Amino acid sequence: MTDKTVFDTYTLGGITLSNRVVFAPLTRNRAGEGLVPSEFAAEYYSQRASAGLVITEATQISKQAQGYQNTPGLYTPEQIAAWRKVTDAVHAKGGRIFVQLWHVGRVSHVDLHGGEAPVAPSAIRAETKTFVNDGFADVSEPRALETAEIAGIVEDFRKTAANAIEAGFDGVEVHGANGYLLDQFLRSSSNVRTDAYGGSVENRARLLLEVVAAVAKEIGADRTGVRLSPVSPASGAVITGEEQEQFNYVAEKLNGLGIVYIHVVEGETGGPRDAAPFDYAALRSRFKNTYIANNGYDLNLANQHLAAGEADLIAFGRPFLANPDLVERLKTGAELNQIDPTTLYGGGAKGYIDYPTLDG
């Protein structure tokens, strides 16, 4: 055991974090025309800059990558410029900020793609919904990616990582979790390919590893993280019992790439931590750099895991939405504001930047 707590500083690659609290990525569906970040995004993120590390909402690497209404991209000059306002605002408050890059794959709708089908490892429809046309609707039937198309997706991740650095981000998090494209490739329930990207544990991990290698080569491994959710059934992912072998392999290979962190959803995203059996210590033992633990943490559990060496940083999600000064509230034991659930997705300033802080 150690005496580490969430309030201690931490060195992440080449940057120093003021504490071990991470503001987890959370989709808010407030992007404007051209899928640029909300006009309020700079204030929203800078309000939460007291977190040791801020990780943005999931951000598209291309138009094809979109799966939800009004989620931002980082592949046009206008998007880069808008994100620069966000990073400048966070840095002005002394914060550090990574952008989470995603491709949703099959978790999408034809109305977001001019009537074209979403893409996926295989033509298997996800049992889930997406937010489109101002409401939730079943996702559309996807088409399987051709092998020749996959290199283009790797290139989109690489280019968008370069855009992130141009926009002033301290690094990027590759979204390999929660039932989105890279996670879809990892799972035999959504990937029944017979080419080099399907079948074996190694083949199913190939796309994720190619993406991460390309991003790390472009911007540096010390500015590259990956999010994983081994046993979360989010977005139609199916848990089959193969997860330990698959994700142990992934962790070993990510360790070999020297990336700065893995960000692990422990249990079901937004749900129980014990949703399915999984040995997170075995996963952590295979990855030697920073381990960010996520899902259902409060202050006591966070400090227990830090003291036991079971995590290096702790990500907090929903508590940060209604409590922009969450770090201070954790320090002082102040009561937490409650979330207004009607303002989570879509809308403007209300429920986004107007939650009260302790200093008024």
Of the candidates 291, 281, 286, which has an alpha carbon nearest to the alpha carbon of residue 313? 291
Integer Rg of the chain from CA: 19
- Give the number of other Cβ atoms within 10 Å of residue 194's Cβ: 9
Of the candidates 250, 160, 263, 255, which has an alpha carbon nearest to the alpha carbon of residue 214? 160
Distance, CA of 254 to CA of 280 (rounded, Å): 15
Of the listed 44, 68, 180, 297, which one is catalytic? 180
Which of helix, strand or coil describes residue 28?
A: coil
- Give the number of other Cβ atoms within 10 Å of residue 271's Cβ: 14
Beta-bridge mates of residue 54:
23, 97
Distance, CA of 12 to CA of 96 (rounded, Å): 10
- Residue type at 349? A
Residue 206: C-alpha distances to residues 86, 97, 150, 203, 290 (Å): 33, 28, 11, 5, 22
- Give the number of other Cβ atoms within 10 Å of residue 333's Cβ: 7
Helix (H) or strand (E) holding 44: helix 41-47
Q: Is 180 a catalytic residue?
A: yes
- Residue type at 155? E
Of the candidates 61, 55, 89, which has an alpha carbon nearest to the alpha carbon of residue 75? 61
137 contact partners, CB below 8 Å, separation of at least 6: 109, 129, 130
Of the candidates 332, 289, 299, 255, which has an alpha carbon nearest to the alpha carbon of residue 21? 299
Residues identified as active-site: 180
